[in-house]
């Protein structure tokens, strides 16, 4: 019977996963029994959890911005800190309405940023890039799941692709690997989530530095650049951005915990 199992939050989530019932139903039906297949699936999931496999990878999906996304060990688990980037982009579209928007998302991973923006901004056309073919496969499935695949072009590329379908973009977003290598190796996520999506080099700024350099080579223009950053990188990123965009309005926004989290580079939005 279900009431024989531990009632930790993680176990409740796993029970809901193997039974197909929500947690409220499970808590109100303690007399319910698991089938042999469900009991076996629960035992396997609990073993994985004890071995350190993150819960979202066991479930195969996770919530972000009120939407459900497929995840796997090939992509990062969505985190609430990234919601600040989404909120900033949405605020810009609301205060500066346009008939249509062109977005580009760099290092898209599971696709949470472009899929969320395409869902909430129906006029958006988006290019999303990633260096990982496995990540792009998941991102495409997430776009299909939410019915926005027709408005997102997924491109395998190391940051900016060689060819872009447009020359002018309204918003560029990027949640690139930004954790310094030494810091990453001491974190609990090390070895559990893909280092390719976490390791930003010695100071955590390798890919941000590379992207900013690419953005000033004249291939195309972008009005607003949104870069998620590590909480100690605000000043360093602001200095880097100023070197590449000396006339831009550059701000560092803080997350709900009061930490530097988002670099906002306004190059030409009016």
pLDDT tens sequence across 43-87: 898 999 999 999 999 999 999 999 999 999 999 999 999 999 999
Question: Inter-axis angle of helices 206-215 and 234-244, to 10 degrees?
Answer: 20
Sign, CA torsion 116/120/121/124: positive
More confident residue, 220 or 122: 122
Q: If we measure between CA atoms, which residue out of 157, 207, 210, 213 comes closest to residue 180?
A: 207
Beta strands in 27-74, from DSSP E residues, in sequence order? 61-64, 67-70
Sign, CA torsion 19/20/24/28: negative
When pLDDT is averaged across residues 80-98 and rounded to a whole number, the result is 96
Confidence of residue 1 (pLDDT cuts 50, 70, 90): very low
Q: How many residues does this entry show for the chain?
A: 270
Task: Supply the pLDDT for residue 2.
Answer: 57
Q: What is the CATH number of domain 72-266?
A: 3.40.50.150
Q: Which residue has the tokens 């176990």?
A: 11
Q: For 219-262, what is each residue's pLDDT tens digit?
A: 788 999 999 999 999 999 999 999 999 999 999 999 999 999 99
Q: If we measure between CA atoms, which residue out of 1, 43, 88 comes closest to residue 262?
A: 88
At residue 7, does pLDDT exceed 90? no
Q: Who contacts 157 (Cβ-Cβ below 8 Å, separation ≥6)?
A: 129, 130, 131
What residue segments make up the domains of the chain, in order of their start?
A: 2-51, 72-266
């Amino acid at each position: 019977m279900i009431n024989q199992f531990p009632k930790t939050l993680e176990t409740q989530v796993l029970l809901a996963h193997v039974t197909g019932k929500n947690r409220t139903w499970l808590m109100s039906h303690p007399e319910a029994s698991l089938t042999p297949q469900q009991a076996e699936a629960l035992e396997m999931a609990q073993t994985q959890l004890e071995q350190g496999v993150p819960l979202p990878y066991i479930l195969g999906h996770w919530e972000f911005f009120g939407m459900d996304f497929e995840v796997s060990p090939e992509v990062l688990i969505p985190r609430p800190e990234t919601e600040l980037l989404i909120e900033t982009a949405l605020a810009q579209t609301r205060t500066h309405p346009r008939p249509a928007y062109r977005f580009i998302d760099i290092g898209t991973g599971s696709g949470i940023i472009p899929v969320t923006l395409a869902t909430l901004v129906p006029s958006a056309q988006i290019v999303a890039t990633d260096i990982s073919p496995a990540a792009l496969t998941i991102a495409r499935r997430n776009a299909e799941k939410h019915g926005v695949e027709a408005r997102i072009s997924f491109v395998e590329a190391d940051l900016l692709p060689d060819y872009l379908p447009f020359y002018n973009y309204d918003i560029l977003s990027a949640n690139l690997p930004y954790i310094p290598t030494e810091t990453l190796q001491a974190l609990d996520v090390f070895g559990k989530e893909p280092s390719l999506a976490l390791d930003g080099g010695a100071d955590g700024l390798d890919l941000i530095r590379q992207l900013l350099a690419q953005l000033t080579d004249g291939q195309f223009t972008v009005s607003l650049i949104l870069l998620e950053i590590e909480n100690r990188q605000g000043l360093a990123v602001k200095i880097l951005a100023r070197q590449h965009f000396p006339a831009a309005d550059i701000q560092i926004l803080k997350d709900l915990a009061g930490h530097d989290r988002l670099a906002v580079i306004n190059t030409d939005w009016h």
